[in-house]
Amino acid sequence: MTDKVCRDTKAPELGKHGWQGALAPDGGVKNRYAPETFLVGVFEWVPVASGKGLKKGVAKVRITGWTNAPESVRLVANHVRDQLDAGAWTGPKAIDVTTGKWAVVADGMLAQGVRRDT
């Protein structure tokens, strides 16, 4: 059984970014021909109104992937988070990992149009 929540393991820090999304409770495999997808949002940590803590801001990038293979979404989300933290993200606001058009290549860069043989 898969975790019900897929989240960033990096500790919250003001002005930095994190990501979180929900997985299907059954692991996302209703049948082997149509696995389910899930979505994670990459957001900025912002202060709460009282100033005594942090909360998730608006999602800046959304990443979609298969629930039965969440590791590819985690890799892309970590890369996008790091790029946003560095102020270097110039990619799209939505990334669909299920199409196979996006992948994190060996050097840690996010590439579009990478074909991975399965």
Handedness of CA 67, 98, 85, 47 (dihedral sign): negative
- Cα–Cα dist 54/44, whole Å: 10
For residue 17, the tally of other CB atoms under 10 A from its CB is: 25
Cβ atoms 90, 109 nearer than 8 A: no
Among the listed residues 26, 7, 29, the one whose alpha carbon sits nearest the alpha carbon of residue 18: 7
Domain boundaries, the chain: 5-112
pLDDT tens, position by position, 7-40: 888 889 999 999 998 765 555 555 556 668 888 9
* pLDDT score recorded for residue 115: 45
**pTM higher than 0.85 for the full model?**
no
Which alpha helices (H) appear in the chain, and where do they start and end?
71-86
Other C-beta atoms closer than 10 Å to the C-beta of 9 total 7
Q: Which residues of the chain have pLDDT under 70?
A: 1-4, 23-35, 102-118
